Amino acid sequence: MSALFEPFTLRDVTIPNRVWMAPMCQYSAAPEGPESGAPTDWHFAHYAARAAGGTGLIVVEATAVSPQGRISPYDLGLWNDTQTEALRRITRFLTAQGTVPAIQLAHAGRKASTERPWKGGAPVGPEGHGWLPVAPSPLPFDERHPVPDELTVDQIKEIVGEFAAAARRALAAGFEIVEIHGAHGYLINEFLSPHSNHRTDTYGGSHENRTRFALEVVDAVREVWPDDKPLFFRISATEWLENAGWTPDDTVRFAGELHAHGVDLLDVSTGGNAAGVRIPTQPGYQVPFAARVRKETPMPVAAVGLITEAEQAEKILANGEADAVLLGRELLRNPSWARHAARELGGEVHVPDQYHRSV
């Protein structure tokens, strides 16, 4: 059997194959009003198409734990009942197609309050439904971004509670897996990295202090998330800074700590916390970081980053470099990628009755 189409079980959840959809923001929710942060028909059609295409696991895009935690005013959120109810429509459909529904919980930190990418992605103020971002330290992401407010210890504790509350709502909305977003320069990543965390209290300085907030979030979410359901964590394994910032060695060390705190899989990405760095992108360029974590720790991993071909994905798994692959842009281009890959590799995926004539 193709390794790409073998089931994968974590705790009591079995994912039917190793073709997973990476979280990708759609920036398509209402920016304000009673429907703010709730998924729309666009979100339903977007995720439903990939489930009908045979994707084994779909990680719903970065979903903010508070209004202040959104990347843009148009992000999804999970801080009220309206959002919870609207997400149930998506999880019901995904589950009916045999796809495991997951959701990424996030806080954007100093990279919050920006315009949609196709509108330029620049920071927005109150005139654009925006707000002043918060961060571990009063350091802007780049020259375009405002200086964020430095979080107090009480505010940090409040955000930890917001992650836990969002996890409870994710369970009520029908999700089987929660992923904590600790990558790409958003709030948790900002705390992890000495590049963005210049605090001198118990949340800054040493590795132990810089990882404290992330582990508090993990513990708070794990406490309310059922023992039979998996918890993922997404990390930027490197910031692509020469001998600076958060490093691959830090990632390996932290992966073991996350595993000890109840994280079941590390979603390994890179970059996003340092502006203007050169990233040597090429097919599978982030896979070696996932492979190292898998080799040196007990943590299962998913690899991501310019994985586009069925044989390429199969080789990553067959070589033991990852336990699953997360596809991003390729699934935007081809919602039925999993079905096409199964045909190429001799695997099997769920095909809706209505699509059987296409097999």
Cα dihedral 288, 291, 295, 299 in deg (nearest 10): 130
No. of helices (H) and no. of strands (E), the chain: 11, 13
What burial class does residue 354 get, using C-beta atoms within 10 Å of its C-beta: 0-12 exposed, 13-18 middle, 19+ buried? exposed
Buried b vs exposed e over 242-258: b needs ≥16 C-beta within 10 Å? eeebbbeebbbebbebb
What burial class does residue 118 get, using C-beta atoms within 10 Å of its C-beta: 0-12 exposed, 13-18 middle, 19+ buried? exposed
Are the C-beta atoms of 287 and 305 separated by less than 8 Å? Answer: yes
What CA–CA distance (Å, rounded) separates 174 from 172?
5
Distances (CA, A) of 307 to 20, 71, 156, 324, 330: 11, 25, 36, 11, 8
DSSP characters for 171-213?
HHTT-SEEEEEE-TTSHHHHHH-TTT----STTSSSHHHHTHH
Are the C-beta atoms of 155 and 80 separated by less than 8 Å? Answer: no
Tally of CB atoms within 10 A around 86:
19
Say which residues have a Cβ less than 8 Å from residue 140's Cβ, sequence separation at least 6. Answer: 110, 146, 147, 148
Mark whether 186 is an active-site residue: yes
Report helix, strand or coil for 299. coil
Residue type, 89: R
Strands in the chain per DSSP E: 8-10, 13-15, 19-21, 57-64, 76-77, 100-106, 134-135, 149-150, 177-182, 231-236, 265-269, 301-304, 324-327
- Which of 308, 239, 259, 325 minimizes the C-alpha distance to 59? 325
What CA–CA distance (Å, rounded) separates 99 from 104?
16
The residue from 27, 47, 74, 186 that is catalytic is: 186
Catalytically annotated residues: 186
